[in-house]
A and B are shown apart, each in its own frame.
Chain A
Amino acid sequence: MKTTLFNFNRFGLLFRRYFTERLHTEVIYWSIMIIAFLFLRNFIFGIGFLFFVAGAFYAARFFREIHSSTNGVAFFMIPATQFEKTVMAIIMTTFYYFWMMTASYTIGNLLGTLLNNTLASVPFIALGYMELNELFYRSPLQWVLFETPAFFYTMYDVAQENSYSYFGIFSRVFLLLQSIFLLGGIYFKNNQAFKTFFVTSVIPVLFFIVFVLEMRLIAGSETAIAHVEAEDFFHIRDIFVRILNGALCLLPPFFWVVCYFRLTEKQV
């Protein structure tokens, strides 16, 4: 077994440990997700909410064992580098989670549509359950998660010059949130998800401050902001979106690096 910073054999063993130890939890978790998607299948806001909230909990709880004096000892004594452990956590909380969530959605959507259409074809009136007939309508199979929702076009003026990709922004926001919650999971001893959410709520405020500062820089003064022309406003908004895009690209790797150092410095 080579002992460089990264070794595929050890890395593989970490995955094997994870899936053997948490197989039961994983099966329950993804079964719950499939059931949730069964009901939410065409409701994009519900799907989005579940995607992000469940992801936040998944990431925040990933390192929960390091806060326990017994399991923490076991975790840190595993002969693998902290780099390997961090990379594994990143893969699990972002790529694996994303893949599993998409798979759960696909299964949930297929099963949900099938179930709905089967029930819709049952003549409840003939069976004497008139009110049930109003509940189920045949609906075609839709894949709302993989389509760009209408609100996105409104938000970005029909994808202004097509420079904004729905999937691109969605992925970057997802990566950012997962990296923040992963770090929160290492940082906070208990109630990691809630505490991280509380701290994270400061971030939109910071973005707002950046936006206002930009406006001030361009308009000259606070009173002049009110008189900013629509053209200038779009210009400011474009600069702000560029800054936001930059932040969305740079922040996840930054938080992952902080995760690595935080894990390296963690004592149990």
Chain B
Amino acid sequence: MDAIHLRNVDFSYSNKAKLLSNVSLQIPSGHIHGLLGKNGEGKSTLLKLIAGLLFPQKGAVDVLAFEPRKRHPEMLRDIYFLSEELPVSTLSIAGFEKVYAPFYPNFSAEQFENHLKEFDILSKNWKMNQLSHGQKKKVIVAFALATRTKILLMDEPTNGLDIPSKGQFRRMAASALEEERCIIISTHQVRDLDSLIDTIIIMDEHEIVINESIDTITDRLLFRVKETNEPDDTVIHSEDTLRGIYQVCENRMHEDSKLDIELLFNSVYINKKRIQQIFHPQA
């Protein structure tokens, strides 16, 4: 079942060029979706449209069979939006939980406690405004995961997290996935989502270029490392590195390979048309 459905959505901030143009997107539950794109491509805007914080100028958005712009409480209690910038709060962690948790009927205090422990947040009496940005992010991420909402939107959740915490975040997010839950993680730090996401949405020039599962991507694209750069018409994009030449190729023989998100991301920007032809040959 699609948790989120966008149909021909246009959006622009006043007096500016279109940020999203004729965007159509179906996002099913039961997956962790990585929303990738350069800065200013409209990733956060897309998340805000889904959350009902912004309204489309054209087209329709359906979220859990609700129209997000109406901000129906039944929809809001099943969505948690973790914004890139964190809200200012003078509350303690325990106070924050006491105030906001009752709004979410499926909130698990036990999960929240466990996530905090995993993130080395040792006391719930710590004041939110006295925490570092990274610690505050950990608290909000832990809270977001513990709400157990059907839709979890995370905008750059790994920004401000140290390297061990990024790994902890990946583990926790993976464990938080349930069949009825849809997690969307927006980032431009593609390496942070390695081994976490199972569906990739890539935005470029204000449109969706790819919205495919990793299985489909690796079925149609081959990621390989070569020692020499021999002419090959299947090669879409290649990058010279100290370890060899990393290539993204058309997977005509349906060979198995491991997805390299960064390589895929770069190949979309360099050879968008070819990638689109591979995934949408009829378009």
The total of chain B residues at the interface (CB under 8 A) is 31
Cα–Cα, bound, A76→B95 (Å): 20
Chain A residues lying within 8 Å of B48, measured Cβ to Cβ, are 73, 268
CB within 8 A of B73: which of A68, A70, A79, A267?
A79
Neighbour of A17 across the interface among B80, B87, B90, B99, CB < 8 A: B99
Please name all residues of chain B whose beta carbon is closer than 8 Å to the beta carbon of A73 when the two chains form the complex. 48, 51, 53, 81, 83, 87
Question: With A1-B77, A70-B86, A70-B88 known to touch, is A77 a contact of B51 (CB < 8 Å)?
Answer: yes
* Distance, CA A164 to CA B90, complexed state (A): 47
Q: Is A21 an interface residue (CB 8 A)?
A: yes
CB distance from B107 to the nearest CB of A (A): 11
Interface 0/1 of B45-86, CB less than 8 Å to A: 000100111110000000000000001111011011101011
Q: A10-B73, A78-B76 are in contact. Are A16 and B55 (CB under 8 A)?
A: no
Contact B99–A20 (Cβ < 8 Å): yes
Q: Number of residue pairs across A and B with beta carbons under 8 Å?
A: 74
Chain A residue nearest to B77 in the complex (CB): A79
A33 at the interface (CB under 8 A from B): no
CA of A17 to CA of B104 in the docked complex: distance in angstroms? 14
- Do B89 and A21 touch across chains, with their CB atoms under 8 A apart? yes
**Chain A nearest CB: distance from B61 CB in Å?**
13
A154 on interface, CB distance cutoff 8 Å = no
Total residues of chain A contacting the partner, CB 8 A: 27
Distance in angstroms from B190 CB to nearest chain A CB is 24
A77 touches B99 (CB 8 A): no
Nearest chain A residue, comparing its CB with the CB of B153: A77
Question: A267–B56 Cα gap in the complex (Å)?
Answer: 11
Is B40 in contact with chain A by the CB < 8 A criterion? no
Q: Which residues of B contact A7 (CB under 8 A)?
A: 73
Chain A nearest CB: distance from B133 CB in Å? 12
Give A239-268 interface residues, CB cut-off 8 Å to B: 264, 267-268
| B73 and A80 within 8 A (CB) | yes
On whether A70 and B99 interact (CB within 8 A), knowing A77-B81, A82-B71, A267-B55, the answer reads no
Which chain A residues (47-97) contact chain B, with CB distance < 8 Å? 68-74, 76-82
Determine the distance from Cα of A80 to Cα of B105 in the docked complex, in whole angstroms: 13
Contact A77 B90 (CB under 8 A): no
Residues on A lying within 8 angstroms of B by beta carbon are 1, 3, 7, 10, 13, 16-17, 20-21, 24, 68-74, 76-82, 264, 267-268
